[in-house]
């Protein structure tokens, strides 16, 4: 279950108003919320890597490795690639981390490094074929998208290559439709669910999201006390996860 963006925004506003710490606009909240969601999402991979190195609890609900993987699973999906005349395939546009590259829905391509290609192609035994295809992956930059170079080069049909991947979370949007006549209740704007995009993180992350949004908002409204309290709470949450 996702985290309701309206719940987070109004909770944050309630805390700020109660403490008379100022006000944060929907646009500011949307930018902060998107950043917070992305940071929590990125940390899943670091935490999973750490948990893979330590013994896990036998309890069904206390296995941290399993729980982190469940949080990532929300963003796991499959998609078709498109072929570019430059000799490579483009993964889906919302790809964040690539998983398995598949040929004709039945063969998993082996991933190799570009410096290995020469030796692989030299030997008839290791030279890639449509039976044993391989690929080289080049991550994207600010100007170029990620690229998948498939070998043998005779594979050029877009529908032949699919990938499993982790997609990037959608940007958070608290949308509104007008001005509230009672702004002290929930701010000066009226929430509109049809114009909003919810947090995609699991509902168990709601407290973590609110705490980290408050941390950033303390910076926006230049309130060191909000920053300190939120930072202490965030640190306590982190220690609790790893202890």
Cβ atoms of residues 35 and 216 within 8 Å: yes
204 and 220, same domain (yes or no)? yes
The yes-or-no verdict on residue 184 having pLDDT over 60 is: no
Residue 144 has pLDDT above 70, yes or no: yes
> Model confidence at 226, in pLDDT bands (50, 70, 90)?
low
The last residue of a domain, from among 167, 199, 220: 167
Pair 144, 226 in one domain? no
pLDDT at 137: 96
Give pLDDT, residue 1: 75
Residues 18 and 81 in one domain: no
99 and 132 in a single domain? The answer is yes
Identify whether residues 115 and 177 lie together within a single domain: no
CB-side neighbour CA atoms (13 Å) of 89: 31
Helix axes 224-242, 206-220, angle to 10 degrees: 150
Do 99 and 155 fall into the same domain?
Answer: yes
Buried b (16+ CB within 10 A) or exposed e, 88-112: bbbbbeebbebeebbbeeeeebeeb
Stretch (H or E) spanning 149 = strand 147-151
Residue with tokens 């080049």: 138
67 plus 82 within the same structural domain: no
- For residue 119, give its domain range: 77-167
Please state, in angstroms and rounded to a whole number, the distance separating the CA atoms of residues 65 and 124. Answer: 42
Q: Quick one: angle between helices 26-51 and 64-73, nearest 10?
A: 140
Q: Are residues 83 and 163 in the same domain?
A: yes
Q: Which residues contact 175 (CB under 8 A, 6 or more apart)?
A: 26, 191, 192, 193, 194, 195, 196, 197
* Distance, CA of 151 to CA of 99 (rounded, Å): 18
Number of folded domains that form the chain: 2
Cα separation, 80 vs 103, in Å, equals: 11
Only one residue has tokens 């100007």, namely 143
User: Does 51 share its domain with 81?
Assistant: no
Question: Which among 167, 186, 213 is the end of a domain?
Answer: 167
Locate the DSSP E strands across 152-231: 161-167, 176-179, 189-191
Across the range 89-111, mean pLDDT stands at 95
Whether 105 and 162 share a structural domain: yes
Name the residue among 109, 122, 119 with its Cα closest to residue 151.
Answer: 109
Q: How would residue 224 be classed by pLDDT, with cut points 50, 70 and 90?
A: low
pTM of the model: 0.80
**Residues 185 and 107 reside in one and the same domain:** no
End-of-domain residue from the set 118, 144, 167: 167
Outline where 130-192 has alpha helix (H): 183-186
Instruction: Give the C-alpha distances (Å, rounded to integers) separating 227 from 19, 212, 215.
Output: 13, 9, 5
Average per-residue pLDDT for the chain: 85
Cα–Cα distance measured from residue 161 to residue 80, given in angstroms and rounded to the nearest whole number: 6
If asked whether residues 68 and 174 sit together in one domain, one would say yes
């Amino acid at each position: 279950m996702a985290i309701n963006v309206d719940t987070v925004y109004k909770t944050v506003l309630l805390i700020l108003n109660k403490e008379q710490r100022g006000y944060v606009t929907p646009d500011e909240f949307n930018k902060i919320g998107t950043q917070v969601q992305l940071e929590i999402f990125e940390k899943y991979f670091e935490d999973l890597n750490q948990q893979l190195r330590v013994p896990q609890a036998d309890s069904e609900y206390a296995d941290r490795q399993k729980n982190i993987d469940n949080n990532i699973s929300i963003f796991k999906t499959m998609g078709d690639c498109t072929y570019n005349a430059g000799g490579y395939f483009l993964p889906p546009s919302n790809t964040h981390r690539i998983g398995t590259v598949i040929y004709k829905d039945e063969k998993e391509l082996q991933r190799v490094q570009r410096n290995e290609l020469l030796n692989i192609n030299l030997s008839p035994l290791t030279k890639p074929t449509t039976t044993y295809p391989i690929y080289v992956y080049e991550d994207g930059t600010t100007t170029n998208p990620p690229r998948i170079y498939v070998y043998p080069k005779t594979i050029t049909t877009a529908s032949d290559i699919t990938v499993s991947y982790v997609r990037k979370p959608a940007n958070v949007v608290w949308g509104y439709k007008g001005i509230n006549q009672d702004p002290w209740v929930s701010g000066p704007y009226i929430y509109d669910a049809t114009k909003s995009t919810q947090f995609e993180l699991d509902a168990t992350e709601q407290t973590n999201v609110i705490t980290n949004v408050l941390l950033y908002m303390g910076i926006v409204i230049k309130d060191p006390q909000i920053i300190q309290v939120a930072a202490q709470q965030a640190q306590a949450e982190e220690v609790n996860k790893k202890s």
